[in-house]
Structure 1
């Protein structure tokens, strides 16, 4: 994504967040919290991501 596109995307996301009602934000937040976290990320942090990216880089 180019710089201009990224800024446009972030502006759109920010304005949609600001335009939403506080009740909508609370329900969205509670839905995110109720979803289970990915096991590897929850217990091992960035280690699985770093390992995957290293292996992917080496195979390329």
Structure 2
């Protein structure tokens, strides 16, 4: 990818961002926050979740 292609891509993304209404950008941001996976599973996988569930079950 040449630098000219990169500049073209970045310019397109900025123009696309500027053309979308502010309300729509805020809605997209909120939707992304809601659908994001929890921090522990993103960084460490399924193991921490399984340990937490096991500990909760063990306390009962």
How would you bin the TM-score normalised by the shorter chain? 0.5 to 0.7
Give how far 1:31 is off: 1.1
TM superposition outliers: structure 1 runs of 4+ over 3 Å: none
Alpha-carbon RMSD across the aligned residues, in angstroms, is 2.1
What count of residue pairs does the alignment treat as equivalent? 43
- 2:28 equivalent in structure 1: 28
**Which stretch of structure 1 is more off in the superposition, 30-39 or 13-22?**
30-39
CA distance in 1, matches of 2:35, 2:25: 16
Give how far 1:2 is off: 1.8
Structure 1 or 2, whichever has the larger Rg, is: 2
TM-score for both structures, normalised by structure 1: 0.58
- 2:13 equivalent in structure 1: 13
